[in-house]
């Protein structure tokens, strides 16, 4: 079982920054693929970023490339998402996700993740 708790969301002006954190309670955290997704009102949940077991591989949605950075601290069982140059269209509930088991490609769909946090709201004002 993997339990995930996100934090760090809030209200920020366009152009600002936020850092989201996801605390994971899991044995063998380093062997867990992790990802961030987001869901805006009336829209489907979409992939934002993913990271491999030891952080060497990352993947980003085109909409956030160059602005967001995903990272993980395996010693502290924590996942991060640094969000810079935020835009109003980044407004959404952000979810941390996890899956166990190795895959060759970082998962980018909701069906590929088994565990989810409760979400944290990010609001970017124009």
For 93-114, write each residue's pLDDT tens digit: 999 999 988 788 899 999 999 9
Mean pLDDT of 4-23: 97
- How high is the mean pLDDT of the chain? 93
Mean pLDDT of 30-45: 92
**What's the CA gap between 28 and 93, in Å, rounded?**
27
End-to-end, the C-alpha distance of the chain in Å comes to 40
Contact between 51 and 57 (Cβ < 8 Å) = yes
- Give me the residue label for tokens 């640094």: 82
Q: Burial level of 115, CB count in 10 A (0-12/13-18/19+)? A: middle
Q: Burial level of 27, CB count in 10 A (0-12/13-18/19+)? A: exposed
pLDDT confidence bin for 54, thresholds 50/70/90: confident
Mean pLDDT of 68-91: 95
123: which 2 tokens?
Answer: 């609001």
How confident is the model at residue 44, as a pLDDT?
97
Mean pLDDT of 63-80: 94
117: which 2 tokens?
Answer: 């946090």
How confident is the model at residue 110, as a pLDDT?
96
């Amino acid at each position: 079982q993997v339990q995930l708790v996100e934090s760090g969301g809030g209200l920020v002006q366009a152009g600002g920054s936020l850092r989201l954190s996801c605390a994971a309670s899991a044995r063998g955290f380093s062997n867990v693929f992790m990802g961030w997704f987001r869901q805006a009102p009336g829209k489907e949940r979409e992939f934002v970023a993913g990271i491999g077991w030891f952080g060497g591989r990352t993947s980003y949605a085109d909409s956030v490339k160059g602005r967001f950075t995903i990272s993980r601290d395996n010693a502290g069982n924590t996942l991060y998402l640094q969000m810079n140059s935020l835009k109003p269209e980044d407004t959404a509930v952000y979810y941390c996700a996890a899956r166990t088991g190795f895959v060759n490609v970082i998962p980018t769909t909701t069906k590929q993740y088994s565990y989810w946090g409760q979400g944290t709201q990010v609001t970017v004002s124009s």
